[in-house]
Chains A and B, each alone.
Chain A
Amino acid sequence: MKKLGLFILSFILCLGPFSIAMAQKSPTICAVHPFTGRFAFAGIEGSAAMQDVVDMANEAGGINGKKIQYYWGDGEYKDDVGIAAFKRLYAQYNPQIMFGQSTGMTKALGPEIKARYKVLYSAYTMTSEAANPKENPYLFIAAPTYTEQFGVLLKYIAKEKPGANIAFFYSDTEFGREPIVAGREMCKKMGLNLVTEEVSQVGGVDITTQVLDMKAKKADYCIFQGFVSNPIAAVIKQSKDYGLNAKFMGTFWSTELQLLKELGPLAEEYTGVTAYSFYFQEDVPMVKKIREWTQKKYPKVEYRSQSYMENYLTTLLFVECFKRADKMVGGITGDNLTKALQSIKNFDVGGLMPPVSIKSNSIPVGRVYRGNSKTVRFDPISDWIRME
């Protein structure tokens, strides 16, 4: 009887360290990147950014001595494959934070993340559905939503030329159509005149009709949405042929060096909004840090894209959330991570963005840049603009 009692007591005592060990599970991030498919340019850079931030954080001591684990899978930019990769990674590594590859995947997994997985989640998306804390507190984006980006551009236009004629030029996809309804409302509120909406296929080159329509409607500004490069370059080039004197603007995914290279001498014609400093802005402390790290670890890499910067900032926020959640009762859990996220106010990111404050699970701030054909870079033409 005495032996049985000792055995039971030992067993109970063993549970204590065991439960502590369970609570001290490594902070783990799992990500589904589009390494193949039409978004591969973002996936490859994005994964590199995540790995770099994790390595830097681990070199600096991790999360209270615990190394951050990072695992990834290829979603091929297909929802089925991405969701399968998500479930595979979750089953294998049981992470507290996950990152997805697309808007479609985010929409499909959102309800399950809220009901079952309870992991902090972000993705290669700027859809408003991923920035709605009332509907789903686990989802957030480390950027302004497409709607907020439109707002930044329209605010800039309203200041530069009140009452201007606006044209929306978007792709016939979820990505393209996302901010259009809100964009119409914002035009009305800001006293801008939405004269036409043009729709085209992604990568389309036959856009003469749209250019002529914008010319007929006397559009002063044309805002692109839902394209990465084509047909933006084609529209800008053809506008010169057909005498369309509009200023061309775009949102995050098109405000990239690739477009400037395609535009060549017409680079000044394009103005875009983005949420992050560029790799060539060497006066920005965080950019300087990224450059030093890149030159040390990847000496052959000459440039890091905005996709890299986006994932870099997102992972910085992940690490900060880990640190804050680790100090909470219960340790690093999905719920504590969401609380940690909401507590982020004026978080210094070294100039990559202004000090970050999470608002409605997004960061509604952007800056307008204009292309420069001589330097083949973007020059900032506005200060950071916050959307209320």
Chain B
Amino acid sequence: MRCGDYKENYIKDEEIFQSRFVKFWLSLFFIFLIVFPFIANAHMLYVSNIIGFAVIGAIGLNLLTGFTGQISLGHAAFVGVGAYTSAILITRYGISFWLSIPLAGLASALAGLVIGIPSLRVKGLYLCIATLAAQFIFGFIFVHWESMTKGITGIHIPPPQIGGFQFSTEKEFYWLTLIFVVLGVGYARNLVRSKMGRAFVAIRDRDLAAEIMGIDLFRYKLTAFAISSFYAGVSGALWVSFLKVVTPDHFPFTLCIQYLAMVIVGGLGSVLGSIFGAIFMTLIPEVLNVLAENAKNYMPGMEQLLIPFKDVVFGFLIVSFLIFEPRGLAEIWNRIKKFFTLWPFSY
């Protein structure tokens, strides 16, 4: 039970890590993240990298949808813009990976600004459809602008390097992913407690009232689209540098749905929710795959039934979480924390 925890000013109250207990466990978690690549095998490191890219992309979408209330079905397109920008800059113009990442983010942000313009006139489901157009427009460009994107053949990308050292294996790339995830999470967490973050929330909660209060809807909505797309672009650029290939088939519409599922299951309006959602949506199918594959050792001949059944189990898990906590995994975490704040007392 937390005792003697009181704040004397707003700055203390606004701190992200509010107690030594939290700082201690977070430090332990960081130590685990640093030790992890030395104890994990290639498969675990591969999945960790994929989770990292998903976290960055999900945070971007949560900033737009969860914090600003703008539903977007074009997130995969912005991931693709970042991916292709990075691939083209590296392979065609010889620009280094380190410069291509921010440039890819900027390219996606620019695309997000353009696609976000309808948000000034429409909202809700209408905005949904307007952003869906981005998915089809960019999908078409990825396939048909063959002189730049090489069409369906795709672009093979060399691994990033510093001097003679290449980040080509899962273990080596893990460090890059970790750095970008820490930067992305840190920036987002600070953004949401800043003036801009409060403006986003005000627009989400009641945009007319926000406008009356003096919040420039035009500026903040477009900024939300730009920042969200920047995150998506960085995620895409990292992902394709990790895979060392980019093709149009990497950015189907189902990727948009996957990102939306991450932020909804994880918790809208929560940076921690984006992280939980990304981990859940990436890790749980992998765990179910392993269980289904190993089931044949105990139930030989049943694997043909068990393998498709894992999709049913996954869907059931998502629905169950949302029934028991519609505000997502982040809210479950908050409830657990509140319980232990007063434990062993009830009130």
Residues in B neighbouring A73, C-beta threshold 8 A? 289, 293
Kindly provide the distance from the CB of B20 to the nearest chain A CB, expressed in whole angstroms: 38
- The reply to whether the CB of B286 lies closer than 8 angstroms to some CB of chain A is yes
Q: Is A208 an interface residue (CB 8 A)?
A: no
Distance between B311 CB and nearest chain A CB, rounded to angstroms: 6
The reply to whether A74 and B292 contact each other, CB–CB distance below 8 Å, is yes
A135 CB, nearest partner CB in chain B, Å: 10
Docked CA distance A321–B304 (Å)? 29
Interchain CB contact under 8 A, A85 and B169: no
Chain A 17-46 per-residue mask, 1 if CB under 8 angstroms from chain B, else 0:
000000000000000000110001000100
Q: For residue B290, which residues in chain A have a CB less than 8 angstroms away from its CB?
A: 88
Interface residues of B in 283-306 (CB under 8 A from A): 285-286, 289-290, 292-293, 304
A79 is an interface residue with CB less than 8 A from chain B: yes
B304 touches A44 (CB 8 A): yes
Q: Which residues of chain A are within 8 angstroms of B307 by Cβ–Cβ distance? A: 35-36, 74
Q: Give Cα A116 to B169, complex, Å.
A: 9
Q: Give the residue name and chain of the A residue nearest to B41 (CB).
A: A91
Interface residue B319 (Cβ < 8 Å from any Cβ of A): no
Q: A81 at the A/B interface (Cβ < 8 Å)?
A: yes
Q: Tell me the smallest distance from the CB of A170 to a CB of chain B, in Å.
A: 11
Contacts of B42 in A (CB 8 A): 87, 90-91
Closest residue on chain B to residue A85 by CB atoms? B289
A-B contact count (CB 8 A): 75
Task: Known contacts A84-B43, A84-B47, A91-B42; decide if A174 and B289 are in contact (CB<8 Å).
Answer: no
Q: Is A178 located at the chain interface by the 8 A CB criterion? A: yes
Query: Contacts of B289 on A, CB cut-off 8 Å?
Result: 73-74, 76, 81, 84-85
B198 at the interface (CB under 8 A from A): no
Residues in B with CB closer than 8 Å to A112 are 244
Scoring B residues 133 to 170 as 1 if CB is less than 8 Å from chain A, else 0, what string do you get? Answer: 00000000001000000011110100000000000111
Task: Tell which of A35, A88, A107 touches B43, judged by Cβ atoms closer than 8 Å.
Answer: A88
Residue ID in chain A nearest B154 by CB atoms: A107
Q: Is A173 a contact of B243 with CB atoms below 8 Å?
A: no
Does any Cβ of B come within 8 Å of A368's Cβ? no
How many chain A residues touch B (CB < 8 A): the figure is 32
Are B50's CB and A80's CB within 8 A? yes
Contact residues, A195-212 vs B (CB, 8 A):
none
Is A330 an interface residue when CB atoms closer than 8 A count as contact? no
- CB pair B249 A83 closer than 8 Å: no
Q: Which of A81-124 contact B (CB under 8 A)?
A: 81, 83-85, 87-88, 90-92, 104, 107-108, 111-112, 115-116
B220 lies within 8 A of chain A by Cβ: no
The answer to whether B245 touches A108, judged by C-beta atoms less than 8 angstroms apart, is yes
Known A-B contacts A74-B293, A111-B244, A177-B151; A104 and B249 likewise in contact (beta carbons under 8 Å)? yes
- Cross-chain pairs A/B with CB under 8 angstroms, 16 sampled: A44-B304, A72-B293, A73-B289, A74-B307, A76-B285, A84-B43, A84-B286, A84-B289, A87-B170, A88-B43, A104-B247, A111-B156, A116-B169, A129-B153, A173-B152, A178-B152
Which residues of B are at the interface with A, using a C-beta cutoff of 8 A? Answer: 41-43, 46-47, 50, 143, 151-154, 156, 168-170, 243-245, 247-250, 285-286, 289-290, 292-293, 304, 307-308, 310-311
Residues of A participating in the B interface, judged by any CB pair closer than 8 Å: 35-36, 40, 44, 72-74, 76, 79-81, 83-85, 87-88, 90-92, 104, 107-108, 111-112, 115-116, 129, 172-174, 177-178
The 5 A-B residue pairs with the shortest CB-CB distance in the complex, in nearest-first order = A88-B43, A174-B152, A87-B43, A35-B307, A91-B41
